[in-house]
Copies of this chain bind each other. A is one copy, B any other.
Amino acid sequence: MTLKVYVDRMSKPTRAIITFCKINGIEFEEVKVDIARRQHRSPEFKEINPMGKVPVIVDGRFKLFESHAILIYLAGVFPGVADHWYPSDLFKRAKVQSVLDWHHRNLRQGAAPALGLPLNPQAVAEAEKVLSSSLLKLETIWLKGKGPFLLGGFQPMIADLSLVCELMQLEVVEEETRQRILSPHKKVQKWMDSTRKATQPHFDEVHEIVFKVKTKLQQIKQSEAESRRKSAGTGTSRM
């Protein structure tokens, strides 16, 4: 009985869960639920998750959604998962829980427009405000400790994975925007890099889809710039 994960790698929490399974040697069957084709809204999928969202896991008769709940469950029931991911120490665990809870109404809320949702400019501006304020808190509070990971840890926790996968979505926004948002936070960038390195080669493999989208968007932008240059050139010759 293999664990089934119903996912679309275009989704940020999906990428956290797949990376987690891979790094911890948890065997699973990946069932793609194509969001672009609205498969997550189909009656078949709603039998699995009535909320109509990915990721979901099905472990035997047990179904579960919400990515943090899934990560905690996987860390608890699969014996091969190292303790640092979700520490059994009650005090450490409480702190991880605190980061995970904080995440929802901070980074997650702020990063939503990076998904490419059709939002009005005011909503985008407000989200960027939330994101920047969250990044500042991340840098000055959660990353204050000695180690390279959250809460000063020397090894990554499920919270590191969840938060970094969220921020990886910034890869697909315009470079200028990405720089404006991320560059004031060197410690955040270093931490993202540490988490990426600690979970290789799985991290990059799972994020391949993001890098592909990024390349595609850059190509579109380049060709648009080129045709603007050409038409500007035509304009000059007419003068």
Q: Which residues of A contact B (CB under 8 A)?
A: 50-51, 62, 64-70, 72-73, 76-77, 90-91, 93-95, 97-98, 100-102, 104-105, 108-109, 122, 137, 140-141
Are A51 and B97 CB-contacts (below 8 A) given A104-B105, A105-B104, A105-B109? no
Q: Which residues of B contact A94 (CB under 8 A)?
A: 62, 64, 69-70, 72-73, 76
Cβ contact within 8 Å between A51 and B104: no
Of A68, A69, A72, A77, most buried by chain B (CB within 10 Å of CB) is A69
Q: Which 8 A-B residue pairings sit nearest by Cβ, starting from the closest?
A: A104-B104, A69-B97, A66-B101, A69-B98, A73-B94, A66-B98, A50-B141, A68-B101
Q: What's the Cα separation between A15 and B108 when bound, in Å?
A: 25
**Interface class of chain A by DSSP:** helix
Q: Which residues of B contact A51 (CB under 8 A)?
A: 102, 137, 141
Q: What's the Cα separation between A91 and B69 when bound, in Å?
A: 10
Q: Which residues of B contact A69 (CB under 8 A)?
A: 94-95, 97-98, 100-101
Partner of A66, one of B50, B97, B109: B97
A-B contacts, 7 of them at CB < 8 A, read A51-B137, A66-B97, A67-B101, A73-B94, A73-B97, A76-B94, A100-B101
Cβ contact within 8 Å between A62 and B91: yes
Nearest CB of chain B from residue A189's CB, rounded to whole Å: 21
Q: Which residues of B contact A137 (CB under 8 A)?
A: 50-51
Q: What's the Cα separation between A112 and B11 when bound, in Å?
A: 26
Nearest CB of chain B from residue A160's CB, rounded to whole Å: 16
Nearest CB of chain B from residue A17's CB, rounded to whole Å: 13
Cβ contact within 8 Å between B105 and A105: yes
Q: Which residues of B contact A76 (CB under 8 A)?
A: 90, 93-94
